[in-house]
Amino acid sequence: MVTIKELAAKSGFSKSTVSRVINNDHNVNEQTRKKVLAVIEEMDYKPNIIARSMITGSLPIILIIVGDIQNHYFARTVVGIEKELTEKNYMAVVYNSMYDVDKEKKFIRMAKECQFCGIIPMTAVKSDELEECLDEVNCPIVLINRDLRKKPLDAVFGNDFEASYIATTELIKNGHTCIAYISGPSKISSVSVDRENGYRAALKDHDIRVDESLIYEGKLDMKSGYEIGKKIFKNTKITAVSSNNFLMALGVHRCGKALGKPVLTEFDIACGETVPELYEESGFIYAGSDLEAIGAKAAQFLMKRINKSKEPRQKIIFSATKIYNPKQIK
Amino acid sequence: MVTIKELAAKSGFSKSTVSRVINNDHNVNEQTRKKVLAVIEEMDYKPNIIARSMITGSLPIILIIVGDIQNHYFARTVVGIEKELTEKNYMAVVYNSMYDVDKEKKFIRMAKECQFCGIIPMTAVKSDELEECLDEVNCPIVLINRDLRKKPLDAVFGNDFEASYIATTELIKNGHTCIAYISGPSKISSVSVDRENGYRAALKDHDIRVDESLIYEGKLDMKSGYEIGKKIFKNTKITAVSSNNFLMALGVHRCGKALGKPVLTEFDIACGETVPELYEESGFIYAGSDLEAIGAKAAQFLMKRINKSKEPRQKIIFSATKIYNPKQIK
DNA sequence: GTATTTATTGAGAACGTTCCCAAAAAGCTG
DNA sequence: CAGCTTTTTGGGAACGTTCTCAATAAATAC
């Protein structure tokens, strides 16, 4: 590999001058700059990233921690982050914690040891331990759909209240009045609380009484949706379900099919987040924020901090713009 | 951060000796080793990866190129690779080429510039350009489900013939005799050829004549499956489809539902690869190799090469062990 | 007891950059 | 043209490792 030293020898200038040209420092004569640039071109010089990182003390790599990359929610957001990073010549290492707090802590420590230049922890659960762990880290951090109690950090959010409100409203538009709700575990994340409130508000705004017995608390996974489905289908008054998330909605769908119910035809199922690409036109009703856009924004925030921006802490909320209801098309 | 220099000062030995202890070089007195290790423990020393990479000339990071990380085929394999790497303190950067050869070339060059220590190119298409590009790279490369014409490299394969053979046989077990097939573009990859041969062999072995008019060539995506579905459902003799891949199978399913056909109940759909986790018990018949295992094996191969193994080039084929047919359970 | 080997340690270069500071060259002021 | 500032350049340290080679200490051989 060609080094600065060789460029210096070939061009007749010193290492320092060549370095200045490379980092386009303005303290260099226009003539010299041209000559050096010509040599760079000629020798096909590429800077040694490791050597550069040796000086700066960090690699142009950021760590993204996700619960499970096979979950579309994380996958899409990561795609958004990476598109943004690649453009700016940064890279990302993605780690799956499989929703294990200890693993997440391990990854965060690793990011420090590996001298990554930033972290986007899309960590699974709220935890004081995790907050402490993030406190020890000295590189920039940007949060997605999460706030920390103590540390004020840049954060990007989807509008979960709105998403659930819209999804539920679509059910009402389709003529449903007896709509069950499957909530998430409210203690863990504010997302679940917001979505449930969206459901409640949608009913109220359409003069439908909220029946607490129609609200079931699930565990966010498909199995949980399946089990709750069994209860829901016993109550023949219910003609539709609004679910906190897609996986539980899918569970209800599976359950309904197993029981021979007219799911996705007469019996509608909605959820307050976008669905995986493969399910996009499969009949589920959904509303959610643009995950790729959220990821991209988070990456932008992070890069600003990496470049030592002193702007006050920012927080952005993305509206729920991805809406789908097959019965209301055309 | 604690450095070797500080360890040296504190322990009373030289940088060199401390370095030897860290890399457990045997040329060091047992007493000294213990003392130094105690200091390392006490000061919570962590080696500086960048400085180390400066010497070795490469980062402990490998590049994985995939067509699209949102495709379960890639996602699962990547999970397998990463599990293996993380254990050995290596990291992975994953890039989505979105099936664009130019992007893939760009990524390969980048891996070289960034001095990554290995590449697993799960590249989309066969291409001479790409082969040339890989030729220029000097770090170890391991292939998955692909062979290069010129360069003999370690490679890991799924058994595609077998997978398609099994999937088709399951359809026959379910009582079907008039089974259409959706092939992939045969010019691009040997995978498509193998799977088609699996279909043909399954029919022959069960004394069913292969009717060439029942074989449709698709483009691997859902839309393509949907379009072919239209043709298939016109022919009322056909009672089942065996598809090259899952996405086209899903397309047929969508088409069938739109046309009001009894898909996944009377009309069976099978494919010669595993399906995304969310579709695992949705009614599709499938057979395929364990993608995580394939990924893990590829990572092992790669790490052997990184550690300068001089073993002859290896090639492993994973049998199609993941089989699902809802009608043949119990 | 001297010579030779072996085990253990240390000094210092090297990796390819960036950064600080000083030197040289050029331009300006009076 | 002396004295000043500004522009442009170069020398060399620094980053934290590993690696080579030499030096010392200990052990063995004769």
pLDDT at B174: 96
Closest by Cβ to B79, choosing from A69, A76, A278:
A69
Nearest to A121 by CA among A176, A72, A77, A71: A77
pLDDT at A68: 85
**Nucleotide in closest CA–C1' contact with A46:** C16
pLDDT at B124: 61
**Beta pairing partners, B317:** B157
Tell me which residue has tokens 């598109």: A83
Contact A134, A122 (CB under 8 A): no
Q: Give the whole-angstrom CA distance, residue A69 versus residue A75.
A: 5
Average pLDDT over residues A103-130: 86
**Beta pairing partners, A215:** A181
Beta pairing class for B268-271 and B240-243: parallel
Q: Which two tokens stand for residue B279?
A: 């579709």
pLDDT at B330: 62
In the predicted structure, residue A123 carries a pLDDT above the cut 80: no
Question: In chain B, which residue ranges form alpha helices assigned H by DSSP?
Answer: 4-11, 15-22, 30-43, 49-56, 72-87, 101-113, 128-136, 160-173, 190-205, 222-234, 246-258, 291-306
Q: Give the whole-angstrom CA distance, residue A316 versus residue A86.
A: 22
**Beta pairing partners, B181:** B215, B242
- pLDDT tens profile A155-200: 999 999 999 999 999 999 999 999 999 999 876 678 889 999 999 9
Strands of the A285-288 sheet, one edge to the other:
A215-217, A179-183, A240-243, A268-271, A285-288, A322-324
- pLDDT tens profile A208-246: 999 999 999 999 889 999 999 999 999 999 999 999 999
- Categorise residue B145: left if φ over 0, alpha if ψ from -120 to 50, beta otherwise: left
| C-alpha distance across the termini of chain A, in Å | 60
pLDDT at A138: 86
Contact B76, A70 (CB under 8 A): yes
Q: Give the whole-angstrom CA distance, residue A259 versus residue A233.
A: 8
Q: What is chain A's percent helix, strand, coil content, to nearest 5?
A: 50, 20, 35
In the predicted structure, residue A124 carries a pLDDT above the cut 70: no
Q: Which two tokens stand for residue A33?
A: 């700059």
pLDDT at A128: 78
> Which chain A residues are within 8 Å of B107, Cβ to Cβ?
none
Q: Taking an 8 Å Cβ-Cβ cutoff, which residues of chain A contact chain B? A: 46, 48-51, 53-54, 57, 59, 61, 69-70, 72, 75-76, 78-79, 82, 86, 91-96, 113-115, 222, 247, 250, 254, 276-279, 281-282
What is the band of A330 on the pLDDT scale with cuts at 50, 70, 90? low
Beta pairing class for B179-183 and B142-144: unpaired
Mean pLDDT by 10 residues, chain B (330 residues): 92 94 90 93 94 94 91 92 91 89 89 93 77 88 86 92 98 97 82 94 97 95 95 97 96 94 95 93 95 97 90 94 89
Least Cα separation, residue B211 to chain A (angstroms): 31
CA of A245 to C1' of C3 (A): 83
Question: What does the mean pLDDT of chain A come to?
Answer: 92
CA of A4 to C1' of C25 (A): 24
CA of B30 to C1' of C5 (A): 21
